[in-house]
């Protein structure tokens, strides 16, 4: 990786100046374009992404050193697949607006706790109903927003034809290859901003492929993609032609951009323009105690291991803190099986820069940590360091904490602990058996409403919300420049809904056929994003091909591979 970074050719200041001027001209034309013209451009870009999709996935695999085999599916799913879906979803919303409809037309609404409403975003059509059978995704709005108001106001920048949002800077993430492109798309559609997308050096080798994929937007002078270092980023953030900054990265980087310091954050920021951000944190995995079968314990251990080791552990949404009940009779058995699954997991490189130092810091803070291959499994209690609760390691480090209580009392304790003791609010995952959730009644969803995270997954990793373009993606609202937490603002949100609060995605507790045998109406097999899914690569490739142009035939081919997982 270090060699590849040295070989990158960074954009010069003169080239950046020219790029910003070109984009300033391009956004004028965009502002004057109608919805049909915008739709045509986005469809042309979708087709261009489709052509580049295989090269894109292969380049990301090479950049990370992803082991050959099923794990290569991660780069298909979190790269071209996610991006194609994002473009498709936005095009559908613009088409509704062009017909005089709300982007929320046809989307069902229902009540959520404490005066909220929610819109059912997944499944949204016949294909999603079958491909994600047993899964559901809801977009919750802030308390007090009515269904009628939400439908009437949906559209954001796509309703403000004639608006010129200027040129924005997107500082791209270095871990997931769809993040930068999807952030760029939201800037353009929701805010009418042309974009300079500065790649993280870890993805510098993808520059030419990105340019191929997004050629129509580049030709329309709505996008420029550049390589650069910290000096390049500083030049762009301070540039008079840049009107807004969006960053996916760390809180440290955010604070250096905004304040010029990670410690002194008083007075006037040195950044003289608005900034939005997605910054990660310490994501909890709350295990609600119940009586699980051996197969349940094993399957959910695979779920947990996936949440930590996907992408080598280098995810801002990776599960880092398992919260268990001290009173759960199967607690120790479950942790033993989690350790076994780590042992069975394929060895993969900790490829992200700085990871070895993060692992060393965790080992130093927790000398009794259990090392399993490249992963540290750590017990956190009153006698140990508390660093794991407040440090996003961005590496294969997983802690576990035990709290008092059972049933809804435990769930409330776990929610309070996650809100008050863990750093950040990007995503949280909950694992709960259907009968235990049912036994809590309305108390379960009322307690869920108290969990202040931007995306919540129930029996599914919250990261899967990233793959559903109609859901919002970002921290729970309320952060400030002084205390930025997991960031400010959201992206994705393809229905362009105002005043979103969170996304909640539900999955089956068991895979088919055990789900059906145990009373869950869910026909989905082991998900392709599990690191233990044997057919993940083939399934992800076919999902990407499906997202180019969906058909029943392609869907059936996906099923053939998916059920081999």
Share of residues in the chain with pLDDT > 90 (%): 96
pLDDT at position 7, please?
80
CA distance linking residue 556 with residue 536, whole number of Å = 16
Per the domain annotation, does 149 fall within a domain? no
Which pLDDT score is estimated for 147? Answer: 98
- CATH number for position 333: 3.40.309.10
489: CB partners within 8 A, 6+ apart: 246, 276, 277, 474
Per-residue pLDDT at 11 exceeds 90: yes
- The answer to whether residue 156 sits within a structural domain is no
Task: Identify the sign of the CA torsion 126, 128, 130, 136.
Answer: negative
pLDDT at residue 264 in the model:
82
**Which position has the token pair 């989690």?**
338
What CATH number is given to the structural domain containing 204? 3.40.605.10
Q: Same domain for 467 and 542?
A: no
Whether residues 262 and 304 share a domain: the answer is: no
267 — pLDDT class (breaks 50, 70, 90): confident
Residue 6: pLDDT over 70:
no
Number of domains in the chain: 3
> Which pLDDT belongs to residue 266?
84
pLDDT at position 364 = 98
| Residue 118 belongs to some domain of the structure | no
Alpha-carbon dihedral angle through residues 266, 269, 275, 279, given to the nearest 10 degrees: -40
Same-domain status, 456 and 539? no
Packing angle, helices 35-64 and 536-548, rounded to 10 = 160
pLDDT digit string (tens) for 303-359?
999 999 999 999 999 999 999 999 999 999 999 999 999 999 988 989 999 999 999
* Same domain, residue pair 253 and 299: no
Q: Is 93 in the same domain as 227? A: yes
pLDDT at position 152: 98
Q: How far is CA 483 from CA 130, 416, 478, 479, in A?
A: 42, 20, 9, 6
- Report the mean per-residue pLDDT for the chain: 96
Q: Look at residue 399 and tell me whether its pLDDT is greater than 70.
A: yes
Q: Distances in Å between the alpha carbon of 510 and those of 24, 325, 329, 507, 515?
A: 52, 21, 20, 9, 5
Report residue 324: phi and psi, to 5°: -120, 170
Do 316 and 273 fall within a single domain? Answer: no
Tell me the sheet residues that pair with 246: 170, 276
Residues 468-508 have pLDDT tens digits of 999 999 999 999 999 999 999 999 999 999 999 999 999 99
* Residue 124 in domain: no
Look at residue 518 in the predicted model and tell me its pLDDT: 96
What's the rounded mean pLDDT across residues 188-217? 98
Residue 561: pLDDT band with limits 50, 70, 90: very high
* 248 & 301 share domain: no
pLDDT at 4 over 50: no
288 and 410 in a single domain? The answer is: yes
Q: Are residues 268 and 288 in the same domain?
A: no
Q: Is 5's pLDDT higher than 50?
A: no
The reply to whether 115 falls in a domain is: no
Counting residues of the chain whose pLDDT is more than 70, the rounded percentage is: 99
- Whether 252 maps to a domain, the answer reads yes
Last residue of a domain, one of 278, 295, 326: 278
Across the range 365-391, mean pLDDT stands at 97
Count CB atoms within 10 A of the CB of residue 441: 10
Q: Is the pLDDT of residue 108 over 70?
A: yes
Residue 268 has pLDDT above 60, yes or no: yes
Query: Domain end: 252, 278, 304, which one?
Result: 278
Query: What is the span of the domain harbouring residue 232?
Result: 2-103+161-278
Q: Give this prediction's pTM.
A: 0.97
Are 351 and 222 part of one and the same domain? Answer: no
Q: Clarify whether residues 185 and 210 are in a common domain.
A: yes
Does residue 154 lie within any of the structural domains? no
352 lies in some domain: yes
- Mark whether 249 and 362 lie in a shared domain: no
Beta strands in 261-390 (DSSP E): 275-278, 283-287, 319-325, 370-372, 375-379
Per the CB < 8 A criterion, the answer to whether 64 and 349 are in contact is: yes
pLDDT at residue 2 in the model: 36
Q: Last residue of a domain, which of 278, 296, 315?
A: 278
């Amino acid at each position: 990786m270090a060699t590849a970074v040295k070989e990158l050719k960074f954009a010069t200041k003169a080239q950046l100046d020219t790029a910003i001027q070109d984009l300033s001209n391009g956004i004028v034309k965009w502002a004057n374009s109608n919805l049909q013209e915008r739709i045509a451009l986005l469809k042309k870009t979708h087709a261009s992404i489709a052509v580049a999709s295989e090269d894109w996935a292969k380049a990301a695999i090479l950049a990370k050193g992803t082991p050959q085999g099923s794990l290569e599916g991660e780069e298909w799913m979190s790269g071209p697949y996610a991006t194609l879906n994002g473009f498709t979803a936005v095009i559908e919303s613009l088409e509704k607006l062009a017909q005089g409809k709300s982007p929320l037309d046809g989307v069902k609404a229902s009540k959520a706790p404490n005066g909220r409403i929610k819109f059912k975003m997944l499944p949204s059509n016949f294909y999603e109903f079958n491909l994600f059978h047993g899964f559901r995704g809801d977009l919750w709005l802030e308390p007090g927003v009515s269904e009628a108001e939400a439908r009437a106001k949906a559209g954001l920048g796509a309703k403000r034809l004639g608006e010129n949002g200027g040129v924005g800077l997107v500082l791209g993430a270095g871990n997931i290859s769809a993040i930068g492109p999807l952030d760029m798309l939201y800037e353009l559609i929701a805010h009418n901003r042309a974009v300079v997308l500065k790649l993280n050096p870890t993805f510098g080798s993808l520059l030419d492929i990105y340019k191929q994929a997004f050629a129509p937007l580049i030709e329309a002078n709505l996008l420029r993609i550049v390589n650069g270092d910290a000096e390049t980023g500083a030049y762009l953030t301070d540039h008079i032609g840049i009107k807004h900054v969006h960053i996916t990265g760390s809180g440290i980087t955010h604070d250096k951009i905004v304040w010029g310091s990670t410690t002194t954050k008083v007075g006037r920021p040195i950044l003289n323009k608005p900034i939005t951000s997605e910054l990660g944190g310490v994501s909890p995995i709350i295990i609600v105690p119940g009586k699980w079968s051996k197969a349940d314990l094993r399957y959910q251990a695979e779920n947990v291991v996936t949440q930590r080791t996907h992408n080598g552990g280098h995810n801002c949404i990776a599960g880092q803190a398992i919260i268990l009940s001290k009173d759960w009779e199967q607690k120790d058995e479950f942790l033993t099986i989690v350790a076994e699954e780590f042992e069975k997991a394929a060895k993969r490189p900790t490829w992200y820069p700085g990871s070895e130092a993060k692992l060393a810091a965790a080992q130093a803070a927790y000398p009794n940590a259990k090392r399993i291959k490249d992963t540290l499994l750590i017990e956190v209690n009153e006698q140990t360091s508390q660093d794991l609760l407040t440090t996003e390691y961005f590496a294969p480090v997983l802690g576990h904490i035990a709290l008092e209580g059972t049933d809804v009392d435990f769930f409330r304790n776990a929610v309070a602990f996650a809100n008050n003791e863990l750093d950040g609010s990007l995503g949280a995952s909950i694992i709960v058996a259907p009968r235990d959730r049912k036994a809590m009644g309305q108390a379960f969803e009322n307690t869920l409403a108290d969990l202040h995270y931007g995306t919540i997954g129930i029996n599914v990793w919250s990261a899967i919300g990233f793959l559903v373009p109609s859901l919002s993606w970002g921290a729970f609202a309320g952060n400030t420049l002084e205390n930025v937490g997991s960031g400010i603002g959201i992206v994705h949100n393809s229905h362009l809904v105002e005043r979103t609060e969170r996304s909640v995605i539900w999955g089956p507790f068991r895979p088919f056929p055990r789900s059906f045998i145990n009373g869950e109406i869910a026909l989905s097999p082991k998900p392709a994003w599990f690191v233990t899914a044997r057919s993940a690569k083939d399934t992800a490739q076919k999902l990407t091909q499906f997202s180019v142009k969906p058909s029943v035939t392609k869907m059936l081919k996906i099923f053939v591979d998916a059920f081999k997982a």
